[in-house]
A and B are shown apart, each in its own frame.
Chain A
Amino acid sequence: MSDVKTQTRHIADRLESPLKLAVFSWPSLLLVVAIALFILNSFMSPYFLSAWSLSDATFNFTEKAIIAFAMALLIISGEIDLSVAAIIALSSTIMGLCLQLGFGTSELVLVGLFVGVLCGAFNGSLVVGLGLPSIVVTIGTMSFFRGISFIILGDQAFNGYPAEFAFFGQGYVWWVISFEFVLFLIVAFAYFVLLHKTNFGRQIFVIGNNATAAQFSGVRVKRVKFILFCLVGLMSGIAAVLLTSRLGSTRPSIAQGWELEVITMVVLGGISILGGSGTIQGVFIAAFIMGLISFGLGLLNVPGIVMSIFIGALLIIVIALPIIAGKIKNRLKA
């Protein structure tokens, strides 16, 4: 960095073959890691390879992953939302409040989703409408949303959710396939289509790479970003419904620290934190990797806090390795 370098851009005579690109892409690297973890896990613990324990393992990551897909889109567009866990807390608290007022299951779910969207819209209007940096705004709303939960609940908790409500977080669709897992697959597919197959998805990439150019090409930058904030809010609302249903109670400290785990998942999935590149496939596999790590280590009686060392190290190593490899390659060339 000390001396100014000039960059020359090589334009290859022929395009790289799609197969080669696919094999050496980020998602394939992640897939290798995921498979290695899977094999390692099944050797380490005899309890790992059973349908029920694998099914249990999915609960570790589905809720976070559902948010991570929307977060991936937001980060590609060059923004970030640190308030997702606080949105879960607020949404869960309002659901609990409505439960006290005698709302039924379907109304509770609607309320949960609505609060999520509302919080997302609040973030979005501050960032887009007033042109504020999203990282700071959402640090603020993070305290603000969870703060409201604390005001409402104090050191109390809401309990006594109806029996049908428990289905979302504890129910099984078929045999060992949980409702959460099915929802996770549906959401993953929906976001894959949205990001990679639609006009809207292309616009997100354009905005992330060059917002000014996007503006001049007729992309409604502000509107797209606002929609993305609302989507992240909606997904946090869904996660709030799932988590509340799974735990069966609401405390203001619910989902504490999830924002960083969600972002770790997104970054691990190969989404550039600087915006403009990444794939949903990557995030999809990253979700499994994080789930496998925490579940596998859990079977070995490793406490959660120690698992976080592995996840943190994985985040850095997975990003550092390609850079180091590139540096070595450059040095060999020179």
Chain B
Amino acid sequence: MRSIHRYHEFWLTLIIALMVVGTTLRSPGFISGQKMIEIFNDSSMLIILALGQMAVILTRSIDLSMASNLALSGMIVALINAAYPEIPIPVLMLIATSCGLLMGVFNGSLVWWLGIPSIVVTLGTLTIYRGIIFVLAGGKWVNADAFTENFIQYTRVEFLGIPALSWYAIIIVLAFFIFMTRTSAGRSIYAIGINPSAALYTGINIGKTQFMTFCISGALSGFCGYLWVSRYVIGSVEVAKGYELIVVAACVIGGISIAGGVGTVIGTVLGALFLGFISNALPVIGVSPFWQMAISGGAIILAVIINASSQTQGKRIILKNREAQS
């Protein structure tokens, strides 16, 4: 199994490298350190969200509410910042993360306690969370002039030439890597995905672990809520609408099996970078941005076909975890 993962990541890296070379041939000057940092910075939030989604998908669940969670947490901190500009930004970050965590706890407890399939729960909370934004803000937008300078700068300050936004992503990627590969909680996430029955007999509490993954994805979405509002300097109902499926797409392209148990942190990061690269490279080579959607759709389909050919085992269909519910 190990070699297959490396195989997938190897090919994905190769494809991204080929695209970089191809783009550079079309428009020399594309391959500069500055541009690479820019692409990574653009993909930072997608990377963070995709890691949270990865943890959830590995346990054979799915979290469709991430984008709504992000938008709601972002709106909350945007409103707080507009009303009380004196509150320091780290506190706001903490508030955003806690709001996200709370929503994750809600998702997770419905999945754990009531055993409702995650796709149904998060489909419901997806609309609920986004609706709450409208109620909270009274349908208004929080515009650029409402934010304090610090609020905007906390994602833009550069350290060693790399913007803070990218540093957050780098730190979270490293933490996630250690968590998934070096801790028993991380390993139990994989165990559940590969074989829930065996995991149960090893003494892993399946529901509790799934609950934990929803908390992780919720907290990360909340944190990204702050990042999103700070980066794009707008808080509105429309923030990140439809982004939940792009996050799933990044995971799938990164080699995460939707049937659970298969996938790595590095693969997920590469998947997110792939999508980030496409959106950056298309304008450079003179392709209309309207092509972007079809190209990422094609990439997802190709990625699934490639994934499936490397995972020959017949897997379950709609995130079934029936056998885990015994």
Contacts and interface: CB of A to CB of B under 8 A. Distances in A.
Given A134-B318, A139-B249, A305 B116 contact: no
Contacts of B318: 75, 78-80, 133-135, 273-275
B291 A315 contact: no
A312 B308 contact: no
A312 B131 contact: yes
Contacts of B326: 4-5, 7
A145 B297 contact: yes
A230 B141 CA distance: 42
A312 B301 contact: no
B206 A309 contact: no
Interface string B286-299: 00101111111111
A151 B114 contact: no
B310 interface: no
B130 interface: yes
- State the majority secondary structure of interface residues on B: helix
Given A147-B291, A264-B123, A320-B110, A313 B128 contact: yes
Contacts of B296: 143, 147
A312 B117 contact: no
Given A5-B326, A308-B131, A274 B117 contact: yes
B119 to A, nearest CB: 6
Interface in A1-29: 1-2, 4-5, 7
Nearest to A147: B294
A140 B301 contact: yes
Interface residues of A, number: 59
Contacts of B303: 140
Given A1-B206, A308-B131, A320-B110, A315 B120 contact: yes
A162 interface: no
Contacts of A143: 245, 249, 293-294, 296-297, 300
B304 A132 contact: yes
Interface string B116-139: 110111011111101111110001
Contacts of A151: 288, 290-291, 294
B26 interface: no
Nearest to B131: A309
Contact of A144 (B64, B201, B205, B297): B297
Contacts of B206: 1
A142 interface: yes
A274 B301 contact: no
Contact of B258 (A136, A274, A305): A136
A323 B112 CA distance: 12
Nearest to A77: B317
A142 B297 contact: yes
19 contacts: A1-B112, A140-B249, A140-B303, A143-B245, A143-B300, A147-B290, A147-B292, A151-B288, A151-B291, A260-B123, A264-B123, A264-B124, A273-B120, A306-B134, A308-B130, A309-B135, A312-B125, A315-B123, A323-B116
Interface of B: 62, 64, 110, 112, 114-117, 119-121, 123-128, 130-135, 139, 200-201, 205-208, 237, 242, 245, 248-249, 252, 258-259, 288, 290-301, 303-305, 308, 314-315, 317-320, 322, 325-326
Query: Which 9 A-B pairs have CB atoms at the shortest separation, nearest pair first?
Result: A147-B294, A144-B297, A143-B297, A309-B131, A140-B300, A147-B293, A312-B127, A312-B128, A140-B301
Given A1-B205, A78-B320, A136-B258, 9 more contacts: A126-B305, A133-B315, A135-B318, A150-B291, A264-B127, A267-B120, A274-B322, A309-B135, A315-B120
